[in-house]
A and B are shown apart, each in its own frame.
Chain A
Amino acid sequence: GENVEQHPSTLSVQEGDSAVIKCTYSDSASNYFPWYKQELGKRPQLIIDIRSNVGEKKDQRIAVTLNKTAKHFSLHITETQPEDSAVYFCAASTAGGGADGLTFGKGTHLIIQP
C-alpha cells in the first residue's frame, strides 16, 4: 500500500519568513495530494490540494508543488503569521479527487516565532 513520508517533524520559523514542508510518496498510482492544517483540539482543515496533472498550485500565501517523477510534493507558506502555527499533514490518494481513503504523513508541527 501507499506510504507517505513527511519532513520535518517540527519546524520553527520567524514571523514573516517562509516555511517549507516536504513529503514523498511510494505508490506511483497516487494522483491526489491534499494538505491539512490541524489546530490543537480541532478537526483537520483542508488548506490546499493538487492533482497529478498539475505541477504547482497557489492560493494567496500558500503554494504546493508536485514532482511526479521524484514522487515528491511540498507545501510552501510565505510571509508566515502567528495564526499559521499548527500541525500540518500531507496526504495521498490513488483516486483522483480524493474519492478514496487518504494515506497521511506523520505531520509537521509548525511554530511561528514572534
Chain B
Amino acid sequence: SAVISQKPSRDICQRGTSLTIQCQVDSQVTMMFWYRQQPGQSLTLIATANQGSEATYESGFVIDKFPISRPNLTFSTLTVSNMSPEDSSIYLCSSMPGGNEQFFGPGTRLTVL
C-alpha cells in the first residue's frame, strides 16, 4: 500500500500561535482529507482538499481557522490558526492512493498550552 507521511509528528504550541501540518503521499491522488481526533474520541472530518480547487469544509470548521493548501497531487497542508487549548488534538490526513480504500497518515499530536 502507499505511504502517507505527516510532519511534525507532534508539537507543543503556545495559545494564539499557528501551526502548519504537512501531509505527503507517495503517489498522485485526487482527494486528500483532514480529520481531527480529540483525546479518547472518534475521528471528525475537517475538510476535503482537491488539487486545483478550494477545500470543502464540514459544518463547524471554517477556512479562517483551518486554512488548507493543496499545491499538487501528492501534498497538502493544514494550518491550525490562532490556537487555543481546545485545539489540542491529533490531526490526521488521509487519502485513497489505490483509488478505493481510504488510508491514514500517522497523525500529528498537537498540544496547546
Chain A residues with CB under 8 Å of chain B are 1, 34, 42-46, 49, 89, 97-107
Contacts and interface: CB of A to CB of B under 8 A. Distances in A.
B41 A101 contact: no
Given A44-B104, A106-B41, A99 B96 contact: yes
Given A1-B59, A43-B92, A43-B107, A97 B44 contact: no
For chain B, what secondary structure do more than half of its interface residues adopt (helix, strand, loop), or is it mixed? loop
Interface residues of B, number: 22
A97 B44 CA distance: 19
A89 B59 CA distance: 21
B58 interface: yes
A49 B42 contact: no
A89 B105 contact: no
A45 B101 CA distance: 11
A107 B105 CA distance: 19
Contact of B102 (A42, A98, A105, A106): A98
Contact of B96 (A45, A89, A97, A104): A97
A101 B103 contact: no
Interface in B47-91: 48, 58-59
Contact of B58 (A49, A89, A101): A101
Contacts of A101: 33, 45, 48, 58
B31 A104 contact: no
Contacts of B30: 99
